Structure 1
Amino acid sequence: MAHIYVYSPSGAVRDRAAFRRGIKRLQTMGHEVEVDPDALAAWQRFAGDDATRLAAIERAAASGADVALITRGGYGLSRLLPQLPWRALARAAERGTRWVGFSDFTVLQLGLLARGQTVTWAGPALCEGFGASDAADAAEGHGAVKAGGPDEIMLACFDDVVSGASEGTGWRLPARDVATLAGRPAHLARHAPLWGGNLAMVQSLLATPWWPEVKGGVLFLEEVGEHPYRVERMLLQLLHAGVLARQKAILLGQFTDYRLNGHDRGYTLAKVVEQLRSQLKVPVLTGLPFGHAPTKVLLPVGAEVDLLVEGREALVLWGHMH
């Protein structure tokens, strides 16, 4: 199968049981797993100090692996942006290494996109994806961890990427989304660059050297632990900067782990989306199965995609990149 290099470019791994489960599951799937020597390093909240994590990224780029997989997100890559080995990262991708990750990893992916046409994959991390606890783990005394195991859709998408068979993804749209598309052609975008990731990380790159000036693209966004008003504030910055209006479509993934309170009085994420649509001519679609949730498709950041809607089915297709 595949040679997978596991490394830690961001936050320290605190759940070592999930780390071990993730490694074991990848091996059970038939993959050769190489673990970076500092994958379990810890310094403050990070997986080692800045120099340690930079060295780990450089080793991942030099590994010749089919997949370079992060252990987890968290925070840390923003500190490294000026020192990242951009040429080595791009060369590794050209040689066939698929860089896979999400959340904090967004800044590395968009930084590569800003420097050229390097394609990376927005997808799972080792611990939260492959290290998810299942019924067998619960039976062995690990029941404190939710026992569901790795998501089957995520696993299937990962297999497709590893085998080179990944051609697209789709999901069922809410009825309100379909109603907003009345009068639009089925093809919302043709050969448009797909880009995006974690909303806070995307926003953080505005007006920096690592910001990709994408026009006519399909922008996908997700977030975790942010109240709807914070989500709206970040979206408004992208709106006021002209970023959203320059896209062919906006795809909103999963926005998870936040709590409303009595002060909100009906102000929900749905209201945020409604407000955004009122200020944009660009179509905004919701429900993309991507984000801080078990069910997660893999998306080729930087690839040209087609986006079409057939009834209530939304399809993002990139098979032509093969």
Structure 2
Amino acid sequence: MVFKSQLLTDDRNKNEHTAIKTTSGLSRRQFLRRVGVSAGTAALASQSISQVWATSSIEPNGSTQLTKDDLPTESLNEQTPFIQTTCITPTIETRLFASSNVGGSGDRTQLALDRVACAGFKVNNPTITNRQYLRFAGTDSQRASDLQNIATGAIAAPKLLLGVRGGYGAMRILPMVDWSTLGRIMQGRGTILAGFSDVTAIQCALLAKGDMSSLTAPMLYSEFGKTKPDEVSCRQFVEALTNPNLVINISDAALTSQKLPSILTSSEPKTITGTMWGGNLSVVSALAGSEYLPRIDGGIVFLEDVGEQPYRIERMLYDLYLAGVFKNQQAIVFGALSAAGEDSYDKRYDVATVIRQLHQLTGLPIYSGMRFGHIGQKHSFPLGATCQLTPNTDGGYQLAFTDYPTIKADAIQVEGLWQTA
């Protein structure tokens, strides 16, 4: 494999961008943005969040563009300005990486940038959000450069690497990044890479080849640019960033399936300790058999997904089972399997049936209802870190995490992440 050792400069990015298709017939707001009128500049100057508006994912012609990381948001009355809030000076060195889909709205992106700045995150490369090639947030080379330039030392490793959004595209850039070197540099700096959904491919590669943890967490465009960001998700994002001993308690399996117990096991549940790894089921199963899927002895596998029918969920789980992925694992933890729907042949064939079949196949204890996935009120947590999984007396369980990098809590003002009209 040949790695690119040179810095992909802004000039080169601009040259590549000439091949990118642009859209004619700009709206008034798009025109103002194109000529350089930025609400974010005023926001930082006044230490208050800007009066800009987030658009929903509804297109002007009434159609919708849904991806797994970005469900429709409610529309916002553009006559109502945002409530002013005192912002702190951003000091947390932050870089964005855009490995997957392009963002659909420049205003929504700018609002997200204003919010994270207000909360204390100093984003050093906001202009990458302007890239587009086909459906992607730039060419493969551009998107890989967000990470590879850190691996080569051309760009200093930040404290936070924040994903812009998911969708699709991260898998295309996996061979273009020196994950081993990137992981070593991130470990030395204590860098936290945060994202989920399609970013699972990045997180798996980083753990498999760079032995580096990451944070499964909300992302810039898909959460912080919403009309009304979810306050619980924002608070839990900051909790996972700042707490070196994160604890999450799960009381029931409802987010996975209401027909399942929280713990499905053939013997008495017991405390286990291992490395938690995994992410989005569709992405993890697509990596089966590749060098980018972690091989962890005694691991705890975490899986979540959205909009997949029960038979598709089972097929992806069989992909992993037949590839031997569940061998030498201690347990499987399921987060939200949202919008799974019903089987058109037989409604009895549901998510609960699929997971019970997996339990029979693997013999592993299965824990359901973990509060993470394509849902609101997400509880962020580290992947690739040590997790102690403990059943409780009420039929639920607790996950306690250690051995992952964090940020000082006093550097973050969490309220800046969800200011709403």
* Structure 1 length-normalised TM: 0.86
Rounded to whole Å, the distance in 1 between the matches of 2:107 and 2:348 is 40
Write the distance in 2 (CA, Å) between the matches of 1:321 and 1:67: 13
Runs of 4+ in 1 over 6 A off after TM superposition: none
What is the match of residue 208 of structure 1? 290
**1:86 matched residue in structure 2:** 179
Q: Which residue matches 1:150? A: 230
Q: Which aligned pairs between 1:71-220 and structure 2 lie closer than 5 A? A: 71-90=164-183, 91-134=185-228, 149-152=229-232, 154-174=233-253, 176-178=260-262, 180-181=264-265, 183-187=267-271, 189-190=272-273, 192-220=274-302
State the distance in 2 between where 1:163 and 1:261 align.
42
Moved more, 268-277 or 51-60: 51-60
Match of 2:400 among 311, 317, 321: 317
Q: Is the 8 A contact 1:160 1:166 kept in 2?
A: no
Aligned-partner Cα distance in 2 for 1:40–1:278: 48
Q: Is the 8 A contact 2:240 2:382 kept in 1?
A: no
Deviates more, 1:251-260 or 1:54-63: 54-63
Question: Secondary structure of the residue that 2:165 maps to in structure 1?
Answer: coil
Equivalent residue number for residue 255 of structure 1: 337
Of 124, 147, 153, which aligns to 1:57? 147
Instruction: State the percentage of identical aligned residues.
Output: 29
Q: 1:59 to 1:264 in 2, by over 3 A?
A: farther
CA contact (8 A) 1:67 1:162 kept: no
* 1:72 counterpart letter in structure 2: R
Q: Quote the Cα distance in structure 2 between the aligned partners of 1:88 and 1:40.
A: 28
Please, which moves more after superposition, 58-67 or 48-57?
Answer: 58-67
Post-superposition Cα deviations, 1:242-275, rounded to whole Å, max 9, x if no partner, equal 3224211101111223433543433221221122
SS at match of 1:37: helix
**Paired residue type of 1:156:** R
| CA distance in structure 2 between the partners assigned to 1:216 and 1:113 by the alignment | 15
Structure 1 Cα separation of the partners of residues 244 and 295 of structure 2: 29
Q: Which has the higher helix share?
A: 1
Corresponding position of 1:20: 110
The structure that has the greater radius of gyration is 2
TM-superposed CA distance for 1:179, in Å, is 6.7
Q: How many residues align?
A: 305
| 1:146 corresponding residue in structure 2 | none
Report the more deviating stretch, 108-117 or 97-106. 108-117
- Shift in CA distance, 276/185, structure 1 to aligned 2, threshold 3 Å: closer
Please list every run of 5 or more consecutive structure 1 residues that lacks an aligned counterpart in the other structure. Answer: 135-148
Q: What displacement does 1:28 show? A: 2.5
Instruction: Name the Cα RMSD after superposition.
Output: 2.3
2:78 match: none
Distance 2:126 2:137 in 1: 11
